[in-house]
Amino acid sequence: MVSISPVVHKLLSYVPFLLVLIDLRFEGVSGGKDAGVENHLEMGKKLLAAGQLADALSHFHAAVDGDPKNYMAYYRRATVYLAMGKSKSALPDLSRVIELKPDFTSARLQRGNLLLKHGKLDEAESDFKKVLKSNPSSREEQEAESQLKKSDEIQRLLAQAQADFHRGEYSSAASHLDIIIETCIWDADSREMRAECFIQMSEMGKAISDLKATSKLKSDNTQAFYKLSTIYYNLGDHEMSLSEVRECLKLDPDHKQCFSHYKQVKKLNKLVQSAEELIQQEKYGDAVNKYESVLKTESNVPQLTLHAKERMCHCLSKEQQTAKALAVCSEVLKSDPHNVNVLKDRAEALLQDEQYEEAIKDFQSAQEHSENDRQIKEGLERAQRLLKQSKKRDYYKILGVKRTAQKKEILKAYRKMAQQWHPDNFQDAEEKKKAETKFIDIAQAKEVLTDPEMRSKFDQGEDPMDPESQQGGGHHHFHSGWDNFQGFNPFGSGPFNFKFSFN
């Protein structure tokens, strides 16, 4: 059973009444008297009244096959087609009804209305005028006069729209076409003209809507699919672009424009898919190389280059290539200042560069445009902790290394600093005391930054050596003061017997 919309359901509620009127007016003048045909007509009428469109259509098909000159069979089949939204199929049946019975004003009026909706104004006007000359009912006369007046107005608007379009006054032309299409809802030519107006006005979403409609209203409309593909391509949506150009090639495999564009889109699509797979595998450096190839391939398509740089920003941030990440992310934000993903990625790069206040600003800006993003909330809280932490003890600064430093770099810095600040290097009591404090900080920094768990906590804004930060838990290997190393002595067997080892 075919599903029908509430609007169609309401229209169908009038069907039994109309069928009764038709039966009363034309009783006994049916084109065929075959009992089988009459049975199909009667059964089809009942099913149509019940809203069982597919079953009704089947019976009317059988009636037409049984008696090709039975105008009521064609008329009722046209009624089902209209209820199913298949106006193209209804038109030939209505024309056949008029051919078999030229004075059937209901069919002619119905055909005129359909022709008007399709934008075939001259043909529609001809039908309305013939209705008025054929002794119509008062209702038919009123409707024909109204529709004829409407058609005349549309003719005037169409001429104005075409003149505006040719003068390059696209906004005015589009306004006229809006009014036309309210009545001529299936007029492919008007929609194509309006789509071109929208393209010229850079209203691509509206252009896409009209072009999708024309691709269905016109058979084999390869040009609509080609335009759709190029619009999606210029919007940076390579997947939709590929889908639309394939539809064009299904209709015409030898279409030169579509085939050439298909090769271009397919190449880009392959590059992007490959890059995204590498990102999933956390191979960010390789992904950056792929997106650099995209930039070389499509440097003249702003949205595609912007998308490529957005993804490069993400990868460079993940790779902790801080300087490059900040440069690329900032470039994207100049064109798209509210891009939440780029704001998050730049915030992470700023944290790596210890620009905590700037990172907080980026997270806050991202939060304004995506309030419920948990990642943003957590990032903002972490940035705020790191800013607070930076004003206290910073183990990276103690060793003079960046937050992105590898373990090898940390150990190298530790050895150098420990050798420089070993208390044995100082004779003056005051200087020795300062060196001892400095040396403890260096040893603490080395322990935290070479232990993955403790370093991770510190990078989240939590000091694993600070009892207050730990809130009563965690590791407390060091405390201020000489007697509280909890079994760890960085100087050897006693506080004044320094046995130093660089490991």
Does residue 27 register a pLDDT over 50? no
Do 422 and 475 touch, CB atoms closer than 8 A? no
**To the nearest whole percent, how much of the chain has pLDDT over 90?**
66
Given this model, what pLDDT does residue 1 score? 44
Task: Tell me the pLDDT tens digit for each residue of 87-108.
Answer: 889 999 999 999 999 999 999 9
What value does the mean pLDDT take over residues 221-232?
95
- Which residue(s) pair with 494 in the sheet? 497
Task: Tell me the pLDDT tens digit for each residue of 184-213.
Answer: 999 999 999 999 999 999 999 999 999 999
Does residue 406 register a pLDDT over 70? yes
What value does the mean pLDDT take over residues 107-133?
95
Number of structural domains (the chain) is 1
Given this model, what pLDDT does residue 315 score? 97
Is 412 within a domain? yes
Is 247 within a domain? no
242-250 long-range contacts, CB within 8 A, separation 24+: 242/266, 242/269, 247/215, 248/222
Is 138 within a domain? no
CATH code of the domain containing 414: 1.10.287.110
φ and ψ of 167, to 5 deg = -85, -5
Measured distance CA(375)–CA(377) in Å, rounded: 5
Given this model, what pLDDT does residue 492 score? 42
In the structure, what pLDDT confidence band is assigned to residue 34 with cuts at 50, 70 and 90? Answer: low
- CA distances, 73 to each of 14, 16, 38, 51, 100 (Å): 19, 16, 9, 18, 11
Exposure of 426 by Cβ count < 10 A (0-12 exposed, 13-18 middle, 19+ buried)?
middle
In the structure, what pLDDT confidence band is assigned to residue 431 with cuts at 50, 70 and 90? Answer: confident
What value does the mean pLDDT take over residues 20-25?
42
Q: What are the start-end ranges of the H helices in 281-406?
A: 284-297, 302-318, 322-335, 340-352, 356-369, 374-390, 395-399
Is 102 within a domain? no
Does residue 171 register a pLDDT over 90? yes
Given this model, what pLDDT does residue 482 score? 37
Does residue 354 register a pLDDT over 90? no
Given this model, what pLDDT does residue 117 score? 95
Measured distance CA(250)–CA(252) in Å, rounded: 6
Given this model, what pLDDT does residue 470 score? 55
Q: Is the pTM of this model over 0.75?
A: no
What value does the mean pLDDT take over residues 301-307?
90
Is 477 within a domain? yes
In the structure, what pLDDT confidence band is assigned to residue 403 with cuts at 50, 70 and 90? Answer: confident
Do 183 and 150 touch, CB atoms closer than 8 A? yes
In the structure, what pLDDT confidence band is assigned to residue 300 with cuts at 50, 70 and 90? Answer: confident
Task: Tell me the pLDDT tens digit for each residue of 382-396.
Answer: 999 888 877 778 888
Is 99 within a domain? no
Given this model, what pLDDT does residue 145 score? 96
Measured distance CA(73)–CA(43) in Å, rounded: 12
Among 258-262, 337-341, 352-356, whose mean pLDDT is lowest? 352-356
Is 141 within a domain? no
In the structure, what pLDDT confidence band is assigned to residue 458 with cuts at 50, 70 and 90? Answer: confident
Given this model, what pLDDT does residue 92 score? 95
Question: What's the whole-number average pLDDT of the chain?
Answer: 86
Measured distance CA(71)–CA(64) in Å, rounded: 9
Does residue 22 register a pLDDT over 50? no
Q: Which domain holds residue 499?
A: 394-503
Is 342 within a domain? no
Given this model, what pLDDT does residue 488 score? 41
Task: Tell me the pLDDT tens digit for each residue of 138-166.
Answer: 999 999 999 999 999 999 999 999 999 99
Q: What is the DSSP string of 57-119?
A: HHHHHHHHHH-TT-HHHHHHHHHHHHHTT-HHHHHHHHHHHHHH-TT-HHHHHHHHHHHHHTT
